[in-house]
Amino acid sequence: MVPDTITLLHLPASSPELNPIELVWPYLRQNKLANRVFRPDQDIVDAGCDAWTVLADSPDLVTSITARESAPVNLSRRWHTARG
């Protein structure tokens, strides 16, 4: 049960642009995996593992990558009715 003081905003089912974790892959591609040739195939696996290790060891980095401003909410014009 959601308290009356909290309004849930339902997001569309297919909206990766609204999911902050989706910003991690572009960061990894641009900063850890770009402009490289991987031969043999194991090299890409190793590079991916190394990139994820950097993220796992740097929670502040993940926070900075996924940080974004909250969606603006206009509380003066409520679109719902209070439960009572």
Do the domain assignments include residue 45?
Answer: yes
Do the domain assignments include residue 1?
Answer: no
3-state secondary structure of 80: coil
Do the domain assignments include residue 73?
Answer: no
Q: What's the pLDDT score for residue 54?
A: 92
* Confidence grade of residue 79 (pLDDT, cut at 50, 70, 90): low
Number of domains in the chain: 1
Region 54-83 average pLDDT: 74
Residue 55 structural domain: 17-66
Q: What's the pLDDT score for residue 80?
A: 56
Chain segment 15-54, per-residue pLDDT in tens: 777 788 888 889 999 998 998 888 999 999 999 999 999 9
Q: Are 83 and 4 in contact (CB under 8 A)?
A: yes
